[in-house]
Amino acid sequence: MVRKIRVLYDDGGFVMPYGGVARYFTEMIKRLPSEVSWKFAMAGTSNLYLQQPPYFIPPHKQDIMGFINGTLRGRSFRGVSYLHRVLARLFPRRFPSGELANERMLQAEFRKGEFDIFHLTAPHPVHDYWHSIVGKRPMVVTVYDLIPEIISGSRRVTYYRRKLLDDATHIISISEKTKQDMMRLYNVPEEKVSVIHLGFLRQENVVPLDPPIRSPYILFVGRREGYKNFSFFVKAIAPILKSTDLTLFCTGGKFDVSELALFNELGIAEKIQQRFIKDEQMRALFHNALVFVFPSLYEGFGIPILDAFSAGCPVILSNCSCFPEVGGDAALYFNDGDAETLRNHILSMMKNESLRKSLIEKGLARAGLFTWEKCAKRTAEVYQKLYNSQFIR
């Protein structure tokens, strides 16, 4: 009887209730072939995906957000995480820390060594908690993007990323673009990296928007700061908003003072809507939009592109980062700073119905190329290769 490959995962990618990293691992792991067994080094979790089947990891007794909302009554400040850790060590019953409990469990699993491969899940490392197994067990690392280094210039992340990439036995990159960035910034050998695209889970049930959104609208989803290129986008489409019945609808957080001032300056404040949309309503949000625009200057992959494709929504993308890799010929593109081309693409969506239908058909086909089954199969192949290698002792 062939023994299963035992893979151990940490909690680094699961610190938030939701999120793309957590979705990636939970969807991929549940589809791994039977010859791979998995285990999470977690006493508890804040992540809602892991609290569901087939994982059933219990909620934390308390995490940092619970400490802030409960003990501090919602007040947060710089150093609050450090304060919580100190109190948790001094008074563990009064101030239990789910994060600290998971750190201790991971180190205990490292000491026991009852696993064949460790797969680190944290998106951006800030300390080397994996160092005790280097040279003892193979370590797989998934790199999603290099935003802290390329966009923010974070020296701390750069330091620990370099150490992590050097220590890793093998690296999974979720796009060819991220792989090329790693090779350029960190001199990572190409043979050490496997590009494995994320999967996509089509939402079959369409939950109507309540209340409905005034149509027709251009759609923008997610965060808007910095490299998301939102200010350029708004300035570029302002003439269209002022001269047509189109509106702009945004998800994400509420507009801040500077954004509201920009809208007023451009004279389009009345043509822009924003509100929180539940996950189950996102398919309807995409489906009802005239077009989805993703003007970001850098992304690791771009799941919203596949969300739009699957919902039958035409897509316009900035011609940079990994977007052409994900969108292929199913989207329209504009170069950074080219407001005229962006406007012309949007006007085409209003006037050229045959082009719009063609993009919708191509998008539906394109979305079907990205599946969690493919992602799981290729990840298992990485595990198998390492399991069969000289690193297992």
Task: Judge contact between 150 and 143, C-beta under 8 A.
Answer: no
Q: Decide if 84 is inside a domain.
A: no
Distances (CA, A) of 327 to 63, 143, 236, 321: 38, 20, 22, 11
Q: Decide if 342 is inside a domain.
A: yes
Nearest to 189 by CA among 159, 161, 168: 168
What is the spatial order of strands in the sheet that 170-173 belongs to?
36-40, 5-9, 117-120, 139-143, 170-173, 193-195
Label residue 196 left, alpha or beta by phi (over 0 means left) and psi (-120 to 50 means alpha). beta
- What confidence score (pLDDT) does residue 392 get? 46
Helices (H) and strands (E) in the chain, counts: 15, 12
Task: Judge contact between 21 and 47, C-beta under 8 A.
Answer: no
- Tokens of residue 173, six digits: 């990159």
Are 229 and 176 in a shared domain? no
Q: Record the pTM.
A: 0.88
- In 3-state terms the chain splits into helix, strand, coil percentages (rounded to 5) of 45, 15, 40
Backbone angles phi, psi at 37, to 5 degrees: -110, 150
**315-318 vs 247-250, strand pairing mode:** unpaired
**Once rounded to an integer, what is the mean pLDDT over residues 30-59?**
94
Are 275 and 143 in a shared domain? no
Name the DSSP class of 97. -
Least confident of 21-30, 87-96, 233-242, 374-383: 87-96
Are 158 and 16 in a shared domain? yes
Task: Judge contact between 223 and 252, C-beta under 8 A.
Answer: yes
Are 350 and 377 in a shared domain? no
Bigger pLDDT: 206 vs 83? 83
Are 111 and 14 in a shared domain? yes
pLDDT digits 0-9 by tens, 276-288:
888 889 999 999 9
Q: Decide if 78 is inside a domain.
A: no
For the chain, the domain total comes to 2
Are 249 and 332 in a shared domain? yes
Are 246 and 185 in a shared domain? no
Q: Decide if 393 is inside a domain.
A: no
Question: Is residue 185 predicted with pLDDT exceeding 90?
Answer: yes
Q: Decide if 75 is inside a domain.
A: no
Are 238 and 323 in a shared domain? yes
Are 124 and 182 in a shared domain? yes
Least confident of 29-38, 201-210, 374-383: 201-210
Q: Decide if 206 is inside a domain.
A: no
Q: Decide if 81 is inside a domain.
A: no
- What confidence score (pLDDT) does residue 393 get? 47
Question: Is residue 203 predicted with pLDDT exceeding 80?
Answer: no
Range of the domain at 111: 5-61+96-199+372-387
Question: Is residue 78 predicted with pLDDT exceeding 90?
Answer: no
Indicate which CATH number applies to the domain containing 36. 3.40.50.2000
Are 255 and 188 in a shared domain? no
Question: Is residue 125 predicted with pLDDT exceeding 60?
Answer: yes
Question: Is residue 26 predicted with pLDDT exceeding 70?
Answer: yes
Average pLDDT of the chain to the nearest whole number: 92
Query: What is the per-residue DSSP string for 39-66?
Result: EE--S-BS-TTTTSTTT-PPBPS--HHH
Are 193 and 240 in a shared domain? no
**Once rounded to an integer, what is the mean pLDDT over residues 119-132?**
93
**Once rounded to an integer, what is the mean pLDDT over residues 291-315?**
94
Q: Decide if 130 is inside a domain.
A: yes
Are 17 and 147 in a shared domain? yes
Helix (H, G, I), strand (E, B) or coil at 106: helix
Spatial neighbors of 112 by CB under 8 A, at least 6 apart, are none
Q: How many Å separate Cα 257 from the centre of its chain?
A: 27
**Dist CA 390 CA 186 (whole Å):** 25
Share of the chain above pLDDT 90, in %: 73
